Structure 1
Amino acid sequence: MTTFVNKLIHKKELFILAMMLEMLHLAIWVDFGSIVSRSFMLSHLGLFLLWQPVWRGDEKLSIENTFLFIVFTLALTLLLNLWLLFAWLILLIGFIGGSVTLDKNERNLYVFALSFVVLELLFACVPELANVKIEQKQIFYLLLPILPIFILFFPGNKPGHQIQMVDFIHSITASMLTSLVSLGSLLIMFINETSYFTALTQTSIAIGSFIICISWLISSQSRFNNVTQLWSSFMLNIGTPLEQWLSELSRFSEKQNEPEEFLEIAVNELLTLSWISGIRWASMDSKGEIGEITRHNTRFITNNLSIDIYTNNMMGGALYVHCNLLVQLVENFYVAKLREKTLTQQTHLKAIYETGARITHDIKNLLQSLQAITSIISHDSSGSSFEVSQQVLRKQLPNLTQRLQLALDKLQTPQDHNIEEIYLKDWLSDVKKRNSHNNITYQEQVNGDPTIPVDLFDSVIDNLLENIQTKQINEPDIEVTISVICNEDIICVMVCDSGSMIPDNISRELLTNVINSDNGLGVGLYQASKYAEKFDYDLKLVSNQHGRVCFELMSNHKSD
């Protein structure tokens, strides 16, 4: 029993539609214009009010709408005649033909209902208007009521079913085509003096062929691409030229960097559309309202935005699709602005991180240099090498002071510090002085004396020598060679040591990723490699074998 009741509830709309059509049939065929006929018409209009797709079932009718429907009902019932019936049938065809749905069963259902109303118009109303007698008229009277019965065999609405809105373009198209068929049939009948059935057949074939040709012309399978483009442009340009609107939106996107400011401008641009009265929007960081707030609103919710669009009339299906497209475009531009802002922040943080990492290694190298100087002085406890210690201090302290001041300047202006350049020979002489206490062999092939970014070269050399010193803890007999090559085409500095090779799992990612290592390799060389790219230099591991491990810093441009 419960299952049967549930099926009846799900088929309630089907039952109302079937009864509405049956009452219409009886109002037309049972002594049209009499009190009985008017009673059937009144019942038909009452059922139509329950079925109609204009107002939702839970929506409260306004006083104006209620008054208009009562006046319309009284006029159609009390003043019932063939012309009013013709107008009502055309209007009803628009309601049924304009119902947009994606469900196959619902489409078939509306086809049945539409066929019934069209047959009533063509074989009951139009012949009576033109005083045309139809042979075997009783056949239609007996067979037409069978069509609404088939509606009851369709499956009922599923739970959560939403009432479909009436599409204005579909409604107008269905109504006008039906009017054209009916009136065209009468015109051909009177001109050619043929029977009504013959004229109706000729008109239907002609209009059907015309519709098929137009459908083929605007389809993507035809060779008339220009017609297809014109049709597509018309469907997209409901209310405004889409290309112009997109151009304005792109221009605003280029000018505005802040996402919320761009969103406000984009919403104002939406309000320029003639069919939009007001807009209320809300994002994660802002909300606002603009224009006139009317009683007809449609809400569009995306991942980042909630936009209510207010119109003077209820929004139809085609207009809803078009408006949804515009909202999606605004949302995509807005998300792009959010990502751009996030990327800018990440880039800024990355620059600070990279600068901090380089400064950390610079300070670490300075501390190691100070440690080496302190070690020399502390080992001279008897004072026998006092003059040597003083000489080392005089050579190294000014250089350490200069390098420390450079690190402090970077801390104060991490992104805007000036790039200091010195001559290659002066830099090489300075390297020799700084590392005079280390056992390093120098090889020079320098033709000319170009300028180089001292910060980059110092950072690379210090990191490479620091890593070699770490290796010397376990391999004290390592020999170190620094080769400098300079000619018209390249500037190349190569640092080699005779120690053990770098493990393959480390060497593969040594200069491309930050890695963890026990022998001093890791973030220092990675930062040095990235820093070299900014000056159009390459830092590479050119040799990795036992007894010869070489790193090379080479320019990608010609020397000055």
Structure 2
Amino acid sequence: MPDLGRRTERWLMYAGPLVLLLALALLHVALLQGALSPAGKALLLGHFGLVLLWQPLVSGGRRLSWAGMLLFGLALAGIGLWLSWGLLLLWGLMLAGVIGGKVFCHPAPRERGFYWLLVVYLVVALNGRVMPELLEGLAEVPAVLPLFANWFALPVLLGAAVLGLPCGGAQAADALDVVGSLIFALVLGGVALGALAFMFVARSDYVWALLQALGSVAGALLLMALVWSPRKGFAGLGLAISRRVLSGGQPFAHWLDEVAELALHEASPEALVRAAMERLAGWPGVQGVFWRCAETEAMTHLGKTSRHVLQLRHGTLEVAVYGQQAFAPTPAWHLDLMLRILAEFHAARLQAQRLQALSFLRAVHETGARSTHELKNLLQSLDALCFAVLDDGGRNPAGVQALLQGQLPEVRRRLDETLQRIRRPREEDLQPRPALGWWQALQARHAEAVLRYQQAGPLAAAALPAALFDCVADNLLRNALEKSGAPAVQVRLVAGEQGCSLSVEDDGAAIETERAASLLLRPLASDTGLGIGLYQAGRLAESAGYVLRLEENRAGCVRFCLSPRG
């Protein structure tokens, strides 16, 4: 049985237009036979059954309960007992409204034409057959009008049959514009009532009164169309009505503008939520607002409570809105949407705070790591001096004294810069110094190592950020000297128009491809240290307007270069 119900529903999806056409054909035959006669009532029962199979409001495969079947039976009995031309007029108006609502759901001209023809038939049938029967004895109706309605239906229904063959489908079966259906029904009802009004007020005959009603309704619709669409200097009535319907009479758009403005100026998430809740508490019908954020344990409140409460929770924001009366579905949906948007702003502000804290911690960690690495280099320099003094054994006190006098001032200067950076990080750490003096100090600092030095350009007139070049040179030289095989290391300083460039090259083994790709982008594991020296040197170079890159990487030539950006 369930499979049969599903097959029936699937068949109705595709054969729905033909079922509707057959229902209207039965209605037309019932009108010809006489709707209130026994044969006419039997035909109308068949018409109602086909319309129920076609209608898009309830699924055709739905199983009816015993209560539903009882109500359905009572409705059929009532139709058989109390059917009248007035009830038939109301039924025709409702059916025309439903069919008219289908017009807006079909963009294809062929399908729209099918439903338009059916609406035209119902209009002619209601005004040419049903209304004259309803007015029998009250007004004189020309005999040609029912005759015209009888014969007019044949070409209209035949044309609809031709257009209706390709219509239907699973998607089109349930499509219905409810607002369009109501508008159709109201317009047709207005035409019928207008015709009655012109008949009894202006003492017109039925045909002339019907024409006057059609003209009046058409003029009103034309005027509505003119003021509905936007014109020059006029936004259109449609925009105002759409805003009214969407906002439900509440200051919805104004509240969203205020929250967006608050999100730009309020520094903390708590202040943003509180300011938004203060504006929400001033809404019409809102007595109080209670809320709790992720940062607070207790509920914060404004206003007073009532027995009508709307509980909402989005993300880390929990809100209770108390109203003077129960919230209707539309205001409740608006409040839910508003608080969802506020929760997104609140989450964005929390994320900004976390990112700010992480940025601060990252700056602290980078400064500490850079200073730690600098202290490590200084300790290694002091260790080399101590080794030189102890290894001499008093054989050459003059040489030892000269070595200490040459190295200790430079070590003291770098130690003082490192301590100043720890106490108070400043941009003066990267202030330029004479390039020639730095170059000579570098050679003196690494006098015990076997290095080849080359220089080019006017070093005497050039300047460079000493702290940056010290950090990069110490890292590159130590990494090169610690390679196995005691490679030859060459250091080159070039003074150009944009600034000084430093390169350190060795003839050892090439760096692995995967390691070289991430060498300056993130800290890497190292056998001789923490693996963050080159990473910190690269970040320091970036902050100073320089670029540290691996310029050459092959066996016998591994060259790093520090140069001005651009």
Q: TM-score range by the shorter chain?
A: 0.5 to 0.7
1:350 to 2:359 alignment: no
Partners of 1:351 and 1:415 within 8 A in 2: no
How far apart are the structure 1 equivalents of 2:368 and 2:263? Answer: 34
Q: How far apart, in 2, do the equivalents of 1:492 and 1:322 lie?
A: 63
The aligned residue for residue 396 of structure 2 is 385
The two structures have a TM-score, normalised by structure 1, of 0.62
TM-score (norm 2): 0.61
Q: Do structure 1's residue 257 and structure 2's residue 241 form an aligned pair?
A: no
1:543 corresponds to: 552
| Contact 1:467/1:521, CA 8 A, preserved across alignment | no
Pairing partner for 2:300 from 288, 297, 317: 288
- Structure 1 equivalent of residue 520 of structure 2: 511
The amino acid that maps onto 1:489 is Q
Distance in 2, matches of 1:226 and 1:375, equals: 91
**Residues 71-98 of structure 1 deviation map (CA, whole Å, 9 limit, x = unaligned):** xxxxxxxxxxxxxxxxxx9xxx9xxx9x
> Shift of the alpha carbon at 1:373?
1.0
Which runs of 5 or more residues in structure 2 are unaligned?
1-63, 84-89, 99-125, 140-178
| Structure 1 match to 2:489 | 480
Write the letter of the residue equivalent to 1:430.
A
Equivalent residue, structure 2, for 1:404: 415
Note closer, same or farther for the CA distance 1:269–1:14 as it changes in structure 2 (3 Å cut): farther
Q: Percent identity?
A: 26
Question: What does residue range 54-93 of structure 1 map to in structure 2 within 5 Å?
Answer: none
Q: Choose from 460, 477, 486 the match for 1:465.
A: 477
Decide whether the 8 Å contact of 2:191 with 2:213 is kept in 1: no
Counterparts of 2:249 and 2:532 in 1: how far apart (Å)?
58
Deviation by residue 1:428-452 (Cα, 9 ceiling, x = unmatched): 1221221122222221123363433
Counterpart Cα distance in 1 of 2:304 and 2:212: 51
Cα distance change on mapping 1:400 and 1:555 into 2, 3 Å: same
Give 3-state SS (helix, strand or coil) of 1:270's partner.
Answer: helix
Count of residues in correspondence between the two structures: 419
Aligned mates of 1:17, 1:352 — CA distance in 2: 77
Q: Note closer, same or farther for the CA distance 1:309–1:446 as it changes in structure 2 (3 Å cut).
A: same
- Residue equivalent to 1:158: none
Aligned mates of 1:200, 1:288 — CA distance in 2: 66
Structure 1 residue 361 displacement after superposition: 1.1
In structure 2, relative to structure 1, the CA distance for the partners of 1:545 and 1:397 (3 Å cut) is same
Cα deviation 1:358-390 (Å, max 9, x = unaligned): 112111111111111121122112x11222222
1:323 aligned residue (313, 331, 335): 335
Residues 290 and 320, structure 2, Cα contact 8 Å, conserved in 1: yes
Following superposition, the deviation at residue 22 of structure 1 comes to 10
Given the superposition, is the C-alpha separation of residues 323 and 496 from structure 1 closer, same or farther in structure 2, using an over 3 Å criterion?
A: same
Give 2:439's aligned amino acid: L
Pick one of 419, 422, 426 that aligns with 2:437.
426
- Structure 1 equivalent of residue 312 of structure 2: 300
Q: Cα distance 1:453–1:186, how it changes in 2: closer, same or farther (>3 A)?
A: farther
In the alignment, the residues of structure 1 paired with residue 281 and residue 363 of structure 2 have an alpha-carbon distance, to the nearest angstrom, of 41
Alignment partner, residue 525 of structure 1 = 534
Provide the rounded CA distance (Å) in 2 between the counterparts of 1:491 and 1:354: 25
Residue by residue over 1:442-499, the C-alpha shift from the partner in whole angstroms, topping out at 9 and shown as x without a partner, is 211233634332221111111111111211xx212x2222111112234211111122
User: 1:36-435 to 2 correspondence within 5 Å?
Assistant: 184=194, 186-190=196-200, 191=202, 193=204, 210=221, 230-239=240-249, 242-286=252-296, 287-381=299-393, 383-414=394-425, 419-435=430-446
Give 1:40's aligned residue: none
Does the aligned pair in 2 maintain the 1:283–1:305 contact within 8 Å? Answer: yes
Could you tell me how far 1:16 is from its partner in structure 2? 11
Quote the offset at 1:416 in angstroms. 7.5
Contact kept, 8 Å, 1:423 with 1:451, in 2: the verdict is yes
Contact 1:294–1:311 (Cα < 8 Å) also in 2: yes
* Contact 1:267–1:279 (CA under 8 A) maintained in structure 2: yes
Change (3 A) 1:444 1:469: same
The letter for the 1-side match of 2:357 is Q
1:446 pairs with 2:422: no
Q: Which SS does the other structure have where 2:501 is aligned?
A: strand
Q: Return the alpha-carbon distance in structure 2 between the equivalents of residues 243 and 450 of structure 1.
A: 62
Whether contact under 8 Å (2:252, 2:334) holds in the other structure is no
- Matched residue SS, 1:277: strand
Q: 1:546 to 1:272 in 2, by over 3 A?
A: same
Is the 2:504–2:559 contact (alpha carbons within 8 Å) kept by the matching residues of 1? yes
Query: Secondary structure of the equivalent of 2:433?
Result: strand
Which stretch shows the higher mean deviation, 388-397 or 339-348?
Answer: 388-397
Residues 421 and 429 in structure 2, CA contact (< 8 A), matched pair in contact too = no
Q: 1:551 to 1:314 in 2, by over 3 A?
A: same
User: Does the Cα contact within 8 Å between 1:352 and 1:414 map onto a contact in 2?
Assistant: no
- Specify the SS of the correspondent of 1:501: coil
Q: Which 5+ residue runs of structure 1 have no aligned equivalent?
A: 1-9, 31-88, 98-118, 134-168
Contact (CA 8 Å) 1:467, 1:520: kept in 2 or not?
Answer: no
Distance (Å, rounded) in 2 between the aligned partners of 1:431 and 1:374: 19
Q: Report the RMSD for the aligned CA atoms in angstroms.
A: 4.8
Query: Contact 2:546–2:563 at 8 Å: present in 1 too?
Result: yes
